[in-house]
Amino acid sequence: MRALQIPNLALNDGRAIPQLGVGVFLVKPGEAQRVVADALDVGYRHIDTARIYDNEAEVGAAIAESGIPRDELFVTTKLWNTDQTQAAAAFEASLDRLGLDRVDLYLIHWPQAMFGEALTAWKSLIEIAATGRATSIGVSNFEKDDLQQLLDETGVVPAVNQIELHPLHQRRELAAFCAEQGIAIEAWGPLAQGKSDLLERPAITEAAAAHGKSPAQVVLRWHVQQGRIIFPKTLRRERMVENAGLFDFELSAAEMAAIDALDEQRNFGPDPRTFDVR
C-alpha cells in the first residue's frame, strides 16, 4: 500500500497539503467506506469529506482499517451551514464520527452572507486551530467580499478557499484575490461534474492526443499547472489510478492558453451569493 508520488503544496500557515486527493461528495451511504479504502490502497493520502455528505463515519472506518499511520494522511471535513453558531460542538461531532483526534483541514462550507454567521464561525475555527485539533483552517465557496470580511475582522487568513472551478468557470477575479492574499485554491468539480461537453472540446481532445493522455487527465493537469489542489470524485478504482497520472507530462503554453480560452463563466453548482440551504 505504497503512497502515490503526489506533490505537496505549501499553505500560508506553514503546513503542506497533497495537491491531489479523493473527494466523497455525493458518494452514497454504504459506498463511501469502499471508495476511501480503494483510494488508500491505490496510494492516495488526501481525503476530503464534510458533515453534510453523511459519510464521515465511513471515511473514518476506512482510515482505521487501512492501518496507515495518521501522520501520513491528510483529512479534510467541513462545518455545515446550520452549525455556524455552534462550530465547536459541530467540530467535536465530526471528530467523533471520523474516529480521529484531529483533522488536517477544517472548512466553513458556505458563506451564507444573508444570515451573517460566517464571521462567528470563523472566530470559532481560529479557536479550534489554536488547540491543534484542526491543523489548518479555511473556507469553501467564499466570494471576495466574504473573504475580505474575515480578513478585516480577524486578520487571520484562511489557508484555502475551496470553490467550483473548471475550464468553463475559471473565477479569475476571485482566483487573483486569493493569490494576492496567499490563499490556496482547491477546485471542486474540476471536470465540470460531467454536466457539459468539456471533455469533447478540441482544446482538450487535441492536447490529450498529443500527450497520449485522456481528456480528463488533460483538464486535471491544467489545474495542477496553475497550482491548484484538486480531488476529482470517482467511485471506480481504475479511474482513481488514471486521475493520478498527472505528473509525468506537461501542457505547453499554447495548450494552456487554448484551455484558458474556454472560460464561459458557467457554473454547474449553486451560486455562493444566493445559496441559502440550511
Quote the CA–CA distance of 186 and 140 in Å, as a whole number: 9
Per-residue pLDDT reduced to its tens digit, 89-148: 999 999 999 999 999 999 999 999 999 999 999 999 999 999 999 999 999 999 999 999
Q: Looking at residue 194, what is its pLDDT?
A: 86
For residue 2, is it within any domain?
Answer: no
Tell me if 38 is assigned to some domain.
yes
pLDDT at 29: 82
Look at residue 210 and tell me if it is in a domain: no
* Whether the Cβ atoms of residue 104 and residue 71 lie closer than 8 Å to each other: no
Residue 260 forms part of a structural domain:
no
Domain count, the chain: 1
> What is the C-alpha radius of gyration for the chain, rounded to an integer number of angstroms?
18
What percentage of the chain reaches a pLDDT higher than 90? Answer: 96
Closest CA to 240 of 267, 220, 261: 220
Query: For residue range 189-198, what is the model confidence (pLDDT) as tens digits?
Result: 999 988 999 9
Question: Per the confidence metrics, is the pTM higher than 0.85?
Answer: yes
Write the pLDDT tens digit of every residue in 41-68.
Answer: 999 999 999 999 999 999 999 999 999 9
- Asked if 121 and 142 count as a contact pair (C-beta separation under 8 A), the reply is no
For residue 271, give the 3-state DSSP assignment.
Answer: coil
pLDDT tens digits for range 163-175: 999 999 999 999 9
Residue pair 192/168 in contact (Cβ under 8 Å)? The answer is: yes
Cα–Cα dist 250/252, whole Å = 6
Task: Please say whether the dihedral angle defined by the alpha carbons of residues 272, 232, 203 and 5, taken in this order, is positive or negative.
Answer: positive
Give yes or no: 106 in active site.
no
Asked whether residue 251 is domain-assigned, the answer is no
Evaluate whether residue 255 is within a structural domain: no
Q: If you ran DSSP here, which 8-state letter would residue 49 be given?
A: -
Dist. CA 74–CA 89, nearest whole Å: 22
* Residue recorded with cell 449553486: 270
CB 209 within 8 A of CB 217: no
pLDDT at 71: 96
Give per-residue burial for 160-169: e unless 16+ CB within 10 Å, then b: bbbbbbbbbb
- Asked, for residue 273, whether it belongs to a domain, the answer is no
Question: How far out from the chain centre does Cα 10 lie?
Answer: 15
Choosing from 44, 53, 74, 91, the catalytic residue is 53
Expressed as residue numbers, the domain containing 166 is 8-194+227-233
Spatial distance between the Cα atoms of 278 and 255, rounded to a whole number of angstroms: 41
Q: Is residue 80 part of a domain?
A: yes
The CATH number of residue 34's host domain is 3.20.20.100
